[in-house]
Structure 1
Amino acid sequence: MKKLIYISLFLMMVTAAVSCDALKEEIVSDVTAENHFTTAGGFEDAVNAAYEPLRDFYGAEQGGNLTEYGTDLVQNAGHGGYHYMNQYDAGLNSEAWPMESIWNSYYVGINTCNAAINRASKLEGIDDALKKRRLGEVHFLRAHYYFNLVQHFGAVHLTTEETEGVETEANRTALPEIYQQIVSDLEVAVNSLPPSQEEWGRATQPAAKMLLSQVLLTRGYQDYAESEDFSRSAALAESVIDDYSFSLLDDFEMIFDNDNEQNAEIIWAVQYGKDPLINGPGNRSHLYYRPWYETYSNGLVRSLAPGYGRPWIRFKMTPFALQNFRPIDQDSRYDKSFQDTWYYNDASSIPEFPDAPNSNPAVGDTAIHIEPDMTQDEVRQQQEATSYYLISWATSHTSDNINMFPSLIKHDDFQRPSVNEPAGNKDYIVYRLAEAYLFAAEAHFKMGNLQQAADHINAVRRRAAWPGHESSMAITAGEVSLDFILNERGREFYGEQKRWITLKRTGRLLERVRNYAGLQESRDNIEEYHRLRPIPATQLNRTSGTYEQNPGY
C-alpha cells in the first residue's frame, strides 16, 4: 500500500505528493494561491501540506515536552533544556519554545486547511468523489489542530477563513464555540471520508470517529457539555471496534515493530520516510527515552542493532510508573515496553571482573542490568559475584544514576542510515484500536455503565496478559474507577504522547502530579493555573489590541 508523504508549504511554494517508490517533482513558476489552489493539482498540494505540521508535534521533542513531562509517569532525565516543562518552574513562561513551536505550527496548519476549504468551490478538473474525500481530510486536520491547541491553551483565536498577508487582529473565542466548530468539522469528516485510503497515513472515517469520540469525551467533563457527549463518544469508539477490520494484535510488542508499521491495530499514524529530502527533521522519539548506556560501562558502544541506538536522555519513567506495571509476571507490558538489560558489544573495551566467577566477560554477555525488585543492599551483596553492573530500580533514581534507567523501546528505529542520525523514519502512531476500547470504557464509566466499561477494559488486559494469566488480569465491574482507567491507560500508552491531556481531561492533573511525580520539584511547584500553558509572547506582541495571557503567567 502506498504511504502518504508530505513536505512543508512555505509561503506560496507548493508541495508534491509522493509514493514510497518514486519522487515526482514539478517546477511551478508564476504561481499564486489564487490560481494554483483552484486547480486539481494545486488543491492536492494544499491538502498534502495541511498534514505537515503534524510532524512538529508527533515524534518531536516539543510534542513530548507538552504531553509527557509534568505527569505521574514521566520525569526529566539528566539531559535536555526543557526541564521546566516537567518541574513547573519559572522557565515555564510565555518565552518558552515548546509552546511557541506548536502554536505557530498548528496555526499554519489551520490556515492551510482554511485555504483548501475556502477555495474548493472554485475547483476545476477534479473528480467529485475525490474532492469530497480531500475536503474530509482537511476538516479532520483543522479539528485536530484546534482540539490540541484548546487542550494546552484554553480559549484561542478561532477562524475558518484563510489569512492572506499580515493580520494583527485576534481574539480569544469562547470554548463552547470552538468545540462546536471542532465537532462540526469532524461530522463533515465522518460523512466524507472512506473506511480506508490507498495512501497509508491519510485521514479515514474511523480516524475521524476516534478524534470525535475523544473530543466529545473531553467536552463531557466540562460545564458546557452537551447531554449526549458521553453516549456519543462511546458509540463512536464502539463503531471503530465493531464496524471496521481493525483488531488487537496478539503480541503487544509487535504493534511497534520496525517491520510492522501498517498493522491491523493502527487506525491512524503520522508518516515519516527514508528519503531525507522529504522526511524533514524525522521522527526523533527514538532518541528521547534512551539512557546514556555507553558511558555507564566499558564494553558498550552505540550501534544500530536492537537494544542500543543513540541516547538523548530526555524522558525516564517515575517510580510510580514502574509500580503501575506490576505484577510484571502477569502483565507483559513492562517487559514488552522497556529494555532493562544491555549486553557487551565492543570486545576491545570490555572490563575485567577479577572477583567474579566470570572474570573475563565477552561480547554478548550482560553489561548492565537494572533490577526492578532488588533493594540497594541486595544489589551491593550480589554485585561482587557478577561480571556486569547491577543497578537496583531504587538507585536508578539517585543523582549518580540519573542518566541510566529502563529504556522505552516502542519508538526504537534501527533503519536509520547511521547510528548518530537523529532523523528517524518510523511512523508515529496517533490512534490504535486499544484506545477505542479505553475511550469507550471511560465514556461508559462516566454514564454509570460499569459492566460495559469493565468489558472494554478486559479486552485490552486479555491481550496484555502473559499466557496463562488471562483470568487474573480480568477485572469486575466493581473494580472500575477513574483511577483504574487512568492506570490502565498508563500501562497501555506509556510514552505515546497522551498522558498530560488525559490527566487534564479527567481533572486529575494536579492530584496525580502532587502524589506521583518523580521529582519533588514537580510536586511542590504545580499550581491550579498550570492546567493551561502560557500563550506565547510572540502572539501577544504581534496582536493589535488586547490578547489576554492565561492566568498565572
Structure 2
Amino acid sequence: MKITFSRHTSAILASFFFFVSCEDFVDVDLPDDKIASQTVFANDNTALDAMQGIYNQLFNVQFSSGSSSSVTFLSGLSADTFMVISSNQTNLEFLQNEITIQNSKNLSIWNSAYNIIYQTNAVLEGIENSNTLSDIVVERLNGEAMFVRAFCYFYLVNLYGDVPLILTTDYSVNTLASREDLSLVYTQIISDLEYAIDVLGIEYEDKERIYANRYVAMALLARVHLYLQNWKQAESLSNEIIQQTAIYEILEDPDVVFMANSKEAIWQISPIGSGEGFGHTNEGNQFIITSAFSNAVVLSDSFMTIWDSDDKRSEHWIGNIVEDGEVYNYPYKYKVQFDDSGSEETISEYSMVLRLAEQYLIRAEARVQLGDLPGAISDLDVIRKRANLPLISEINPSANAEELEQLLLEERRKELFTEWGHRWMDLKRWGKASDILGQTKDDTIEPMDLLYPIPEEERNKNPNLSQNPGY
C-alpha cells in the first residue's frame, strides 16, 4: 500500500503531533494548538491522515517497535527466552529481574506508550470538536483511536500494575495524574474495545491488516477477558474470530505466517512507518544474527531444550550460526534482516501483533476452565497439527484439566515466543514466574520483580506518581 501526504498536509500533521506528543508537557501556545487541530480535523482526508500517523508511529516508538527497547525484547529478557551475549547493563537488569528506577529502556517503554496514548486522545478530541467530518469517518476514527489506546494500556497495566489513566491532552491535568487501580484501567480498556467492536467494520482498509477492524478489537478483548479470567467472554470472542474462515486461517507453512497481510494475521505493524525506506521489520533486524556478537541476545539454553525433534516451528522459526565451534540460536520468524531499498511495494513482512493461532490458544484455555476438555483438546490439536506434533486426541484423549493446563503453557511458549511478551505475562498470570524462572535463571524471583518500576524521571516530574513496592 502506498501512503502519501502532500507537503501541506505533512506540515499540518507535524504541527499537530508536536503539540500532542511532548513528553514533558511543556506549556505551549494554545491558540496555535487549536489552529493545528482545527485544520487537521477540518475534512475527512486530513483526519484520516492523522490516524495514519499514529499507525506509522507504532513502528517507531520504543514499546511497540520490536527493537531493543520494545516489549518483545525486554520482556523476553525478563522471562526465560533470551540470554545476553553482551554486557549492556540496561539489558542485564531485565535479564536478572533487577531493574533499577533509572533504567533508560524501562523509561522508554513508559514514555513511548504514553506518547501514543496522548496522540489517540488528541485524535478523539479533534473528532469531538469538529462538525465537518462525515459520520462514517467519525465512527471509524473513534473506533481505531480507542482500540490503539486500549492496546497501549493493556501493556502498561501488565508491565507496571496501577498506572495513570490519561484520557485528555490537557498537560496541566496529565502532569499531576496519580496512578489508578488497574481494575479501573481495565474497565476503560474494555469500554474502548467494546466501542471499537460496535463501530468498526469487518473489512480491512485497502486490504491492509495494519488497520484495526472489528475483529482486531475483538481479538484484543478476548485476551483481556482471558487475563481477567472471564472465561465465557474470552471463549465467545475467540470463537467468533475463528469462525471467520473467509478472512483468517492457520497456515500450514510456518515460513509464510509472518508475511505482510498473511491470512493468519489479525493485526500487524508495517515498516512503512519508519519513513526511511526500510523494508524490514525491527524484529528481523534485531534478532537475526549475521555473525557472532552482532546482536545483543540469543535464544536461551533452557528455551532450546523444550523442542521435539519433529516440531516444524523449531525448524522454521529458529535459525543458527556456528562460529569458533559455538552455536548461536536466534529467532527466525522474520526472514528479512535488512532492506533499505526504499520500495514500499517490495515489503514482504509486517510485524505481527495479533494472530489467529493465539485465538485458538485463548479458546483452549477458556474451555479448560469451563470444563470443555474435548473442545480444548481440539483447539490445541490445531496448533500441534501445524507443528507436525502428535495430536492429543490420538495420544491422550482423556487428558485431565491439569494435564491440559501444562500443555497449554508449553504450547504458548513454543508458538508465541518472541512475540509481545507472551511468555513473561503467562508466567505471571499463571503464578509460575517465581518457580520456573527461579530454576531456569538459577536466581530468586521476588514478588516485587513481577512488576517493572515506575521510572524515576517520571516520578521526579510528577509528585503524585507513586512507586511499585520494593523499589
> Which of the numbers 496, 501, 504 marks the counterpart of 2:425?
501
Quote the offset at 1:33 in angstroms.
3.5
Q: Is the 8 A contact 1:283 1:425 kept in 2?
A: no
> Which of the numbers 123, 126, 132 marks the counterpart of 2:133?
126
Name the aligned partner's letter for residue 263 of structure 1: S
Quote the offset at 1:425 in angstroms.
8.0
**Alpha carbons of 1:143 and 1:167: their partners in 2 closer, same or farther (altered >3 Å)?**
closer
> Which of the numbers 63, 68, 74 marks the counterpart of 2:82?
74
Name the aligned partner's letter for residue 325 of structure 1: W
Report the Cα distance in structure 2 between the residues aligned to 1:284 and 1:319, rounded to whole angstroms. 24
Deviations 1:84-111 (A, max 9, x none): 111123xx11111222112111112111
Report the Cα distance in structure 2 between the residues aligned to 1:11 and 1:504, rounded to whole angstroms. 41
Which residue number in structure 2 is paired with residue 217 of structure 1? 226
Name the aligned partner's letter for residue 397 of structure 2: T
**Residue 251, structure 1, aligned to residue 253, structure 2:** yes
Which residue number in structure 2 is paired with residue 261 of structure 1? 260
Report the Cα distance in structure 1 between the residues aligned to 2:122 and 2:168, rounded to whole angstroms. 7
Which residue number in structure 1 is paired with residue 163 of structure 2? 156
**Residue 147, structure 1, aligned to residue 171, structure 2:** no
Report the Cα distance in structure 1 between the residues aligned to 2:355 and 2:197, rounded to whole angstroms. 17
Quote the offset at 1:113 in angstroms.
1.3
1:352-391 superposed matches below 5 A: 368=322, 391=325
**Residue 316, structure 1, aligned to residue 319, structure 2:** no
Report the Cα distance in structure 2 between the residues aligned to 1:455 and 1:242, rounded to whole angstroms. 14
Aligned length: 437
Report the Cα distance in structure 2 between the residues aligned to 1:428 and 1:77, rounded to whole angstroms. 24
**Alpha carbons of 1:450 and 1:232: their partners in 2 closer, same or farther (altered >3 Å)?**
same
Report the Cα distance in structure 2 between the residues aligned to 1:99 and 1:73, rounded to whole angstroms. 18
Quote the offset at 1:407 in angstroms.
2.5
Report the Cα distance in structure 2 between the residues aligned to 1:253 and 1:153, rounded to whole angstroms. 34
Q: Is the 8 A contact 1:133 1:192 kept in 2?
A: yes
**Residue 238, structure 1, aligned to residue 245, structure 2:** no
Q: Gaps spanning 5+ residues in structure 2: where?
A: 20-31, 342-346
1:32-181 superposed matches below 5 A: 32-40=35-43, 41-55=45-59, 56=61, 57-63=64-70, 64-78=72-86, 80-81=88-89, 82-89=91-98, 92-164=99-171, 167-181=174-188
Deviations 1:379-415 (A, max 9, x none): xxxxxxxxxx6x5xxxxxxxxx4xx412321123156
**Alpha carbons of 1:10 and 1:516: their partners in 2 closer, same or farther (altered >3 Å)?**
farther
Deviations 1:53-73 (A, max 9, x none): 422223221113432112133
Quote the offset at 1:212 in angstroms.
0.2
Q: Is the 8 A contact 1:190 1:208 kept in 2?
A: yes
Report the Cα distance in structure 2 between the residues aligned to 1:283 and 1:425, rounded to whole angstroms. 9
Deviations 1:429-462 (A, max 9, x none): 0111111100111112222322211111111111
Report the Cα distance in structure 1 between the residues aligned to 2:285 and 2:294, rounded to whole angstroms. 5
**Alpha carbons of 1:547 and 1:238: their partners in 2 closer, same or farther (altered >3 Å)?**
same
SS in structure 2 at match of 1:194:
coil
Give % identity: 25
Q: Is the 8 A contact 1:5 1:273 kept in 2?
A: no
Q: Is the 8 A contact 1:76 1:316 kept in 2?
A: yes
Name the aligned partner's letter for residue 255 of structure 1: V
Quote the offset at 1:274 in angstroms.
9.0
SS in structure 1 at match of 2:313:
coil
Q: Is the 8 A contact 1:444 1:450 kept in 2?
A: yes
- The root-mean-square deviation of aligned C-alpha atoms, in Å, is 3.0
**Alpha carbons of 1:84 and 1:461: their partners in 2 closer, same or farther (altered >3 Å)?**
same
Report the Cα distance in structure 1 between the residues aligned to 2:458 and 2:221, rounded to whole angstroms. 28
More moved, 143-152 vs 34-43: 34-43
More moved, 496-505 vs 146-155: 496-505
Which residue number in structure 1 is paired with residue 26 of structure 2? none
SS in structure 1 at match of 2:315:
coil
Q: Is the 8 A contact 1:53 1:106 kept in 2?
A: no
SS in structure 1 at match of 2:16:
coil
Which residue number in structure 2 is paired with residue 528 of structure 1? 447
Q: Is the 8 A contact 2:150 2:192 kept in 1?
A: yes
More helix by share: 2
Which residue number in structure 1 is paired with residue 370 of structure 2? 447
**Alpha carbons of 1:318 and 1:275: their partners in 2 closer, same or farther (altered >3 Å)?**
closer
Q: Gaps spanning 5+ residues in structure 1: where?
A: 16-28, 221-228, 296-310, 343-367, 370-388, 392-400, 419-423
Q: Is the 8 A contact 2:179 2:465 kept in 1?
A: yes
Deviations 1:264-291 (A, max 9, x none): 11111011139743769x7322243344
Name the aligned partner's letter for residue 433 of structure 2: L
Which residue number in structure 2 is paired with residue 207 of structure 1? 216
Quote the offset at 1:417 in angstroms.
3.1
**Alpha carbons of 1:30 and 1:484: their partners in 2 closer, same or farther (altered >3 Å)?**
closer
**Alpha carbons of 1:138 and 1:405: their partners in 2 closer, same or farther (altered >3 Å)?**
same
Q: Is the 8 A contact 1:462 1:473 kept in 2?
A: no
**Alpha carbons of 1:434 and 1:511: their partners in 2 closer, same or farther (altered >3 Å)?**
same
Report the Cα distance in structure 1 between the residues aligned to 2:78 and 2:189, rounded to whole angstroms. 27
TM-score (norm: length of structure 1)? 0.72
Q: Is the 8 A contact 1:80 1:313 kept in 2?
A: no
Name the aligned partner's letter for residue 322 of structure 1: M
Which residue number in structure 2 is paired with residue 549 of structure 1? 467
Report the Cα distance in structure 1 between the residues aligned to 2:369 and 2:393, rounded to whole angstroms. 25
- Which structure has the bigger radius of gyration? 1
> Which of the numbers 179, 182, 192 marks the counterpart of 2:189?
182
Name the aligned partner's letter for residue 540 of structure 1: R
Deviations 1:470-511 (A, max 9, x none): 679865351543222111011111222322122222222222
Quote the offset at 1:231 in angstroms.
0.6
Which residue number in structure 1 is paired with residue 28 of structure 2? none
Name the aligned partner's letter for residue 38 of structure 1: F
Report the Cα distance in structure 1 between the residues aligned to 2:3 and 2:103, rounded to whole angstroms. 32
Report the Cα distance in structure 2 between the residues aligned to 1:46 and 1:274, rounded to whole angstroms. 13
Report the Cα distance in structure 1 between the residues aligned to 2:3 and 2:112, rounded to whole angstroms. 20
Report the Cα distance in structure 2 between the residues aligned to 1:30 and 1:219, rounded to whole angstroms. 39
Name the aligned partner's letter for residue 248 of structure 2: F
**Residue 417, structure 1, aligned to residue 356, structure 2:** no
Q: Is the 8 A contact 2:288 2:337 kept in 1?
A: no
Q: Is the 8 A contact 2:56 2:273 kept in 1?
A: no
Name the aligned partner's letter for residue 111 of structure 1: Y
Q: Is the 8 A contact 1:458 1:474 kept in 2?
A: no
Q: Is the 8 A contact 1:453 1:477 kept in 2?
A: no
Which residue number in structure 1 is paired with residue 24 of structure 2? none
Which residue number in structure 1 is paired with residue 315 of structure 2? 335
Name the aligned partner's letter for residue 533 of structure 1: Y
